[in-house]
């Protein structure tokens, strides 16, 4: 586990301190161009399809960057078409366990792997809230959980607000809550308030 919480900011460069650049993508080539992002300094590939593409696994193995395995039910086009789970926690844990075995068998260092439950990706609002309540149950093989909830639409639905700016402080609240449950990695838009929340949450642990 990490010695201190870490923020991941969208982009490709290290931002200094406990803030690093990450890059979200779902293909080895194309609009996300992960190789270009890595060349520009991205430290982590956050594959929204969970590294199901062998080419992405090969890229991660060859470059040695961090690997963020995200869970998504279906595809970006179908993921919100009536998502269902027998048990959302157990199902996602099982997915993480399978991915961990596949990636390590392909030569990726287990210490480079983190798992993202994919809040909002193939989940209902109730699924999202259940996952947030039980983030500590998503730790698989001792690997850290990466949480990406920043400004997501489910926050707006709960708040009954269409203004994206209204999601910033609720995001900070979720960050502090997740830190208390042992989540050390947080992908955010607004760095300073979330970093302040992490520092306070850590101070009170």
6-55 pLDDT per residue, tens: 666 544 333 344 555 555 655 555 445 677 777 777 778 888 899 999 99
What pTM did the predictor assign? Answer: 0.84
User: Which residues are marked as active site?
Assistant: 152, 187
For residues 143 and 171, is the Cβ–Cβ distance under 8 A?
A: no
pLDDT digits 0-9 by tens, 53-79:
999 999 999 999 999 999 999 877 888
In CATH, the number for domain 6-147 is 3.20.20.20
Q: Rounded CA gap, 155 and 153, in Å?
A: 5
């Amino acid at each position: 586990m990490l010695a201190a919480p870490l923020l991941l900011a969208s982009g490709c460069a290290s931002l200094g301190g406990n803030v690093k650049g990450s890059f979200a993508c779902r293909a080895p080539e194309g609009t996300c161009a992960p190789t270009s992002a890595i060349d520009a300094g991205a430290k982590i590939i956050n594959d929204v399809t969970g590294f199901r593409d062998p080419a992405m696994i090969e890229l991660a193995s060859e470059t040695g960057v961090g690997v963020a395995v995200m869970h998504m039910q279906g595809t970006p086009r179908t993921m919100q078409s009536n998502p269902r789970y027998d048990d959302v926690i157990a199902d996602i844990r099982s997915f993480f366990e399978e991915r961990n075995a596949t990636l390590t068998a392909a030569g990726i260092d287990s210490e480079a792997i983190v798992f993202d439950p994919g809040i909002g990706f193939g989940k209902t609002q109730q699924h999202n809230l259940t996952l947030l309540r039980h983030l500590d149950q998503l730790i698989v093989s001792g690997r850290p959980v990466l949480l990406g909830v920043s400004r997501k639409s489910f926050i707006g639905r709960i708040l009954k607000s269409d203004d994206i700016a209204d999601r910033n402080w609720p995001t900070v609240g979720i960050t502090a809550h997740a830190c208390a449950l042992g989540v050390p990695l947080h992908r955010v838009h607004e760095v300073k308030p979330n970093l302040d929340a992490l520092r306070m949450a850590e101070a009170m642990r």
